[in-house]
Amino acid sequence: MAKFSPKLQIEDSHDKTLFIVTLLLVIFGTLMVFSSSVIMADIRFQSPYMFVSKHLIWVVIGTFALIFFSKFNYRSLQTMSKPLYIAVVVLLLLVLFIGTSKGGAKRWLRWGPISVQPSEIAKLVTVIVLADYLDRKKSKLKKIKGIIPPLLIAGFLCALVAVEPDLGTPIIIMATTLALLYVAGAKFKYILSVLLLAVPVVIAEILRKPYRLARVKAYLASWWDISSTSYQLDQSILALGSGGFIGKGLAQSQMKMLYLPEPHTDFIFPIVGEELGFIGAAVLIVLFGIFTWRGITISRHSTEFFGAILALGITFLIALQAFLNMGVASGLLPTKGLPLPFVSFGGTALLINMAEVGILLSISKNMAGREKK
């Protein structure tokens, strides 16, 4: 393993485009967290810089994580996959017994001023464990019994997270699992069968919580009558639409003045649209597009199957969550609380996202044909 240096720099062998795009997303996010939270924090907590100051602390910690993992030999993660899985199971169980509740959900472990969300860690650990399994057992994926173990591995974590309750994270974990199984060689008919079996499970989870059912009903009704949208989505669409082409200007949002709930976390994208307009929103989407392209490129040109699956899984996690967040904010998908990677306020999510980029950079050092830009 290369000697660790805390300097904000990467080696010549790393994918520089991925690093630069990540840096731009983090800077973009920090500006938007400040803009979207300062008024709300001042009114509610008499501390206008409370959220952005916490966010900056996590940015610094996340930067160290990115640099550390970029110099870390990603192959070591394969030998650590089982202990990591056990550790995240323990954390998820602890959440259910001693976790901190917020908004009716018990998803956080708190030690003094530090709050950790194990479900965010579970996403990355799932990808690491799956990459290890698929690397060792890819020859068995042509048969149904070959895909059962990874489904059980991911399914157990999904079940623990769903109890919190949280439906969005299990959907992301299972979608990533099925995507990796298919890419690794599992037959499409098996993937389709699992999807069909998952439908009643998702429906049952929606029916289990009245607020979920209300969100789905409001979403379906909005296709015929836009006035049927929920209050949160209504304010989100107003924010996006009022920004026009060039936006009202940074820090000029009106929806963030306690009209739009969670403007600094799950619904930060509408604030981007309101303040920076179509241009700002398009730039953000393009940055995520470039990020996805570089992640797929790293996966395609990895010299090892484990590295290829790991890179693809990480890329899929981040790209899918970005798509879901922006889809919810624009009314394309039912309302679900998910942060926008690198942009939304949030400690554990940002830390894990930046650690994931570090792993991608580590894998990029071993790309065949030196396909780096």
DSSP string, 233-298: HHHHHHHHHHTTTT-S-TT--STTTTTSSSTTTTTHHHHHHHHHHHHHHHHHHHHHHHHHHHHHHH
CB under 8 A, 24+ apart: contacts of 106-112: 106/164, 107/164, 107/166
pLDDT value for 95: 93
- The residue type of 34 is F
Question: How big is the CA angle at 127 (ends 124 and 131), to the nearest 5 degrees?
Answer: 145
Instruction: Give the 3-state secondary structure of residue 367.
Output: strand
Other C-beta atoms lying within 10 Å of the C-beta of residue 33? 26
pLDDT beneath 70: ranges in the chain: 1-12, 225-229, 368-373
Residue 224 placed within a domain: yes
- For the chain, the straight-line distance linking the first and the last C-alpha, in angstroms and rounded, comes to 24
d(CA 216, CA 318): 24
DSSP for 74-124? TTHHHHTHHHHHHHHHHHHHHHHHHPEEETTEEEEEEETTEEE-HHHHHHH
- The residue type of 58 is W
Residue 101 placed within a domain: yes
pLDDT value for 62: 96
Residue 293 placed within a domain: yes
Q: What's this model's pTM, rounded to 2 decimal places?
A: 0.92
pLDDT value for 336: 81
Residue 125 placed within a domain: yes
pLDDT value for 226: 61
pLDDT value for 211: 85
Structure tokens at 186: 């599992």
Residue 9 placed within a domain: no
Structural domain that includes position 141: 16-367
Residue 10 placed within a domain: no
Using CB atoms within 10 Å of the CB of residue 290, give its burial: 0 to 12 exposed, 13 to 18 middle, 19+ buried: middle
d(CA 315, CA 308): 11
Residue 168 placed within a domain: yes
Residue 223 placed within a domain: yes
pLDDT value for 229: 64
Number of domains in the chain: 1
Q: Are 141 and 327 in contact (CB under 8 A)?
A: no
